[in-house]
Structure 1
Amino acid sequence: MSKKPFRSQARNIVYNVYQKICAEEDKDQSESSILKRVQTLTGVSSSTIRRFVGEGRANGGVFSTPGKKRKGGKKKINLDSFDLEVIRNKIKEFYTVKKEIPTLRKLLHTLREDIDFNGSRESWRLILKNIGFDFVKCQSKRTILMERHDIKIQRFRYLERLKKNRESQQPDKLDVVYLDETYIHGSCSVNKC
């Protein structure tokens, strides 16, 4: 017989067979004769039957599969919009101020110092993907961190609408209000790629 544990359904069946035989048999029968009959009907050893019956009596006939309760799962890392904006600014800072290509390891080290990020490298990669960054291969076959194409297209459409609004001479022209200034200067470049 295999060493795999019996699932709750199998334990329940053995317990129910034992209960049924106890109810049908005479009160005079010994425990060993009842166990032998259950053993022939179920194919389970008598010591295992005793264990299942004891567990059933203790739990009121409710069984659980051993090892079914697993620990953990994924830790949910909660980052608010402020932290996400700090992440975006740190990525832009790598390109503009430090003038180097950001890697997962470098960014993770920086963010652990700045915002006390406690996630792993893989969770960090997923966060980058969720906020709109991808690693793209450049001509030297090195991967660099860039914003996704769909975000670039949205920015392009926004700038086109802004330009049309500025050039329009109609009286219903919309006023533009700037709340913050965030950009990367076009002449800033990194020589590694």
Structure 2
Amino acid sequence: MIYDVYCFLKNEANGRSDTQIKERTAEATKTSLCTVRRIVKEAEQSEFLTVFRTPGKKHARSKPVTGIDNFDQGVIKRCIHNFHLTNNEIPTVTKLLTKLRSDINYQGSERSLRRILKDLGFKWKATENNRKVLIEKTSIRLQRIKYLEAIQKYRHEGRPIIYTDESYVHASHTSSKAWTDGSKKGLKKPISKGQRVVMVHAGSEAGFIPNGLLMFKSGAKTGDYHDDMNYENYSKWLTSQLIPNLPPRSVVVVDNASYHNTQYNLAPNSNSKKCDMQAWLTEKGISFDPTMYKPQLYELIKTNKENLKNYNIDRLLAQHNHSVLRLPPYHPDLNPIEMAWAAIKGYVSSKNVAWNVTRVMELVKQKVDAMGSSEWQKLCSKVRSIEDDYCKSDHVVDQLTDQLVIQVGDSDSSSSSDWEVFDDDEPGPSTSTNPSTNPRTSTSFADFEGFTPLSDSD
């Protein structure tokens, strides 16, 4: 609007200088002269006069460092676990930051890395000299161990392992760089991301499941593609596209998205009727005394309900003699289709010059059709090697934590002090500066009594 007023006054200049026109524009629009100068300069430098930067406007976007995608999360997790194998020690933030910068060109700060580690399920525990070392939550380690045992059992039985996942790609998804001679001619990336295309598919060592690709335009206005996918849409895809094309006795691997975990026959809550509590316990074969009060009955329900959950998709697949296996939380690196999505998006970015939804869908379909069994076998082989690394690192973690950690227990609760991280080079809150009395002075792992560096075979 300010620029339109400037142009109007300029057309009726009547001998006024450009400075005078800008002053009159500022007076007419009740803005500062500096603002008018900035807007006019921006318009003169822009090839498209109708496009202006909006000062102060907040756009929904992911954080540049901590808002990393699932694939990068998996890379960081593997880097942490491989640190145990390659360095024979538990990493501190300082050591881990150095390794991530050299291995994967991580650009974030220590503060950002701490936030990412917390989101990935890692926490800090005190050692004998009150220093903090990086330990994965026991509950997450347990779920991963159970998952690895289950998938190895299914493979031993010869059952096909089918990996499923959902992802998305924007209509403007293209390479961020291109050759240019410095002029304004050539390929220009759109300012807007455009409409989002949601993708759902499944694959195994034999390749993508035939006729399993589902693509549709996003209808959600939030930044989360999970808002487009719900249990209703997901169950339709299961029944119409996935189940009819699955090999016999398949094991379908899914992540922990909410629509994968919708339940039927929910356990009663503390406000349920007493008769409903008794009926649920009876149905599940859990003995109870008829004279028990509601709080006592609910205590029984709480003790048993975690192991007696009934999921809708499990029942749906079981009706066709298939099983469901859920990935442990924060472990997209155990799903080869995540790497397949990365390859598909890379193909789209290299070919997308039209920046419309129809063309993006065509490019996704082209890459999916081109990815055969040989490429999928490589992806699955890579995931198997990652599984082996986790198994090896779990043995190393057990040995190291036995020697280092004294704050043990099954509780995964963390207070605010759990996240006051002190690295090798950072003194803690103690006021003492004498190394002999300050428990937070730099100490090598060799200073721990009984510590012996592990060999590669260990």
Instruction: Tell which structure's C-alpha radius of gyration is larger.
Output: 1
Under a length normalisation based on structure 1, what TM-score does the superposition of the two structures give? Answer: 0.49
Under a length normalisation based on structure 2, what TM-score does the superposition of the two structures give? Answer: 0.23
Query: Is the strand fraction higher in 1 or 2?
Result: 2
